[in-house]
């Protein structure tokens, strides 16, 4: 489907209840086309758990519901907040929800532990991992990090791959002092100038810090020194993939179209999030978060493809980086982690 068709030919809205962030368990109908919860024939009830509370990266899901994209693919979508990619991966593996939106390093680590999930399409194909500092800090290049204290969170992907970033930037791990804090603690420590910066997702934390502090933030991105690996994308339970491949294909296609449509209309996409969750950032933060997400939707290898179209080369590079960093024990074949059967069709226009 072309973007023009998306913009001009979509059904305008579905019931607001489809957007409630409920805690209901997954209940996808055995066959696509079963009646939805509202009794409307032709729609399948589908639950999606996000990686965290809604922020700008998630705007396409809300916009896709509002614009009828998911409905057009036979899906009555309910969006749930998450509490971290690991919990989302496990909820999908246990069949508590139908689909999840989770960070690829956490997905691969959970698959290695026996969780019954597969990636069905990574959408953030350039890592948002970055060292984030205030622009007035005097830190503008990786070399400026020497002797500085950076807040980290043990076990997450940006922290675990930080030594690889330092190596790529020509630094030693001992050149930087790491202070281990949780996500909220990292931001508070940076805002209060207890640390010189933090490691995290530039498209998420950075705009929030800038809004709360009133100061500009500079990003030293991992990708800028040639270190890249996949981030967030769509996952499904292996039983659902086997029993209802048509539903999985429809969900991937609808998600791809929603991300393409939101890229064309950023402000409208963010407006679709209004009032959907009490912990959602302010509108001005959401729009910056979504605008910062758009460049992450492709990698140099996949540039020009529709959202969610993955290349084997990017998958192999991701697996190699994560195994080198110790986030997964060994580099396994791509098909152990990713089911390519549901790839969206067509290149981006």
Mean pLDDT across the chain, nearest whole number?
89
Residue 92 lies in a domain: yes
- Closest C-alpha among 331, 327, 325 to residue 163: 325
Instruction: Give which of 172, 123, 127 is closest to 145, Cα–Cα.
Output: 172
Q: List Cα–Cα distances, 210 to 178, 264, 293, 322, in angstroms.
A: 22, 25, 16, 30
Note down the domain range covering 174. Answer: 129-225
> What's the whole-number mean pLDDT along residues 260-279?
97
When pLDDT is cut at 50, 70 and 90, the band that residue 63 belongs to is very high
* pLDDT given for residue 40 in this prediction: 55
Q: What is the pLDDT of residues 154-201, one digit of tens each?
A: 999 999 999 999 999 999 999 999 999 998 899 999 999 999 999 999
- Whether 119 and 54 map to the same domain: the answer is yes
* Average pLDDT estimate for 106-132: 98
* Residue 58 within any structural domain of the chain: yes
Domain shared by 111 and 167, yes or no: no
Same domain, 160 and 183: yes
Q: Is residue 173 part of a domain?
A: yes
Give the residue with greater pLDDT, 15 vs 159.
159
Q: Give the model's pLDDT for residue 25.
A: 35
Higher-pLDDT residue of 337 and 30 is: 337
349, pLDDT greater than 80: no
The yes-or-no verdict on residue 29 having pLDDT over 80 is: no
Both 184 and 311 in one domain: the answer is: no
Residue whose C-alpha is closest to residue 259's, from 122, 64, 79, 46: 64
pLDDT at residue 37 tops 80: no
CA of 171: how far to CAs of 144, 146, 235, in Å? 10, 8, 35
% of the chain residues with pLDDT over 70: 87
> What's the pLDDT at 8?
37
pTM score: 0.87
Q: Do 192 and 94 reside in the same domain of the chain?
A: no
Q: What's residue 28's pLDDT?
A: 41
- Check whether 41 has a pLDDT greater than 70: no
Q: Radius of gyration of the chain from Cα atoms?
A: 20
Residues 240, 185: Cα–Cα separation, whole Å: 38
For residues 334 and 264, membership in a common domain is answered with: yes
CATH code (residue 111): 3.40.190.10
Q: What angle do CA 54, 56, 61 make, to 5 degrees?
A: 70
């Amino acid at each position: 489907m072309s973007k023009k068709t998306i913009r001009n030919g979509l059904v305008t809205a579905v019931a607001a209840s489809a957007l409630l962030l409920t805690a209901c368990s997954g209940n996808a109908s055995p066959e696509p086309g079963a009646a939805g919860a509202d009794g409307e024939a032709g729609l399948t009830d589908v639950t999606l758990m996000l990686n965290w509370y809604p922020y700008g990266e998630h705007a396409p899901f809300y916009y896709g519901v509002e614009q009828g994209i998911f409905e057009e693919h036979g899906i009555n979508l309910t969006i749930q907040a998450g509490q971290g990619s690991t919990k989302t991966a496990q909820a999908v593996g246990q069949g508590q929800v139908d689909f999840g939106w989770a960070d690829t390093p956490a997905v691969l680590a959970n698959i290695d532990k026996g969780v019954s999930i597969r990636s069905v399409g990574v959408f953030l194909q350039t890592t948002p991992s970055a060292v984030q500092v205030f622009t007035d800090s005097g830190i503008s290049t990786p070399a400026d990090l020497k002797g500085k204290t950076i807040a980290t969170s043990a076990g997450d992907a940006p922290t675990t791959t930080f030594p690889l970033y330092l190596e790529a930037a020509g630094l030693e791990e001992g050149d930087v002092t790491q202070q281990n804090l949780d996500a909220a603690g990292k931001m508070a420590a940076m805002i209060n100038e207890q640390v010189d910066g933090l490691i995290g997702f530039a498209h998420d934390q950075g705009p929030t810090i800038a809004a709360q502090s009133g100061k500009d933030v500079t990003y030293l991105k991992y990708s800028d020194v040639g270190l890249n690996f996949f981030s967030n994308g769509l996952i499904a339970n292996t039983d659902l993939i086997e029993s209802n491949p048509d539903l999985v294909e429809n969900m991937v296609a609808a998600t791809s179209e929603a991300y393409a449509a939101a890229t064309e209309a950023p402000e409208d996409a963010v407006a679709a999030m209004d009032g959907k969750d009490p912990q959602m950032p302010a509108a001005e933060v959401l729009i910056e978060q979504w605008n910062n997400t758009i460049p992450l939707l492709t990698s140099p290898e996949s540039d020009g493809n529709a959202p969610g179209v993955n290349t084997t080369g990017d998958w192999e590079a991701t697996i190699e980086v994560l195994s080198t960093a110790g986030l997964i024990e060994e580099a396994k074949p791509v098909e152990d982690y990713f089911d390519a059967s549901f790839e969206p069709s067509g290149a981006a226009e």
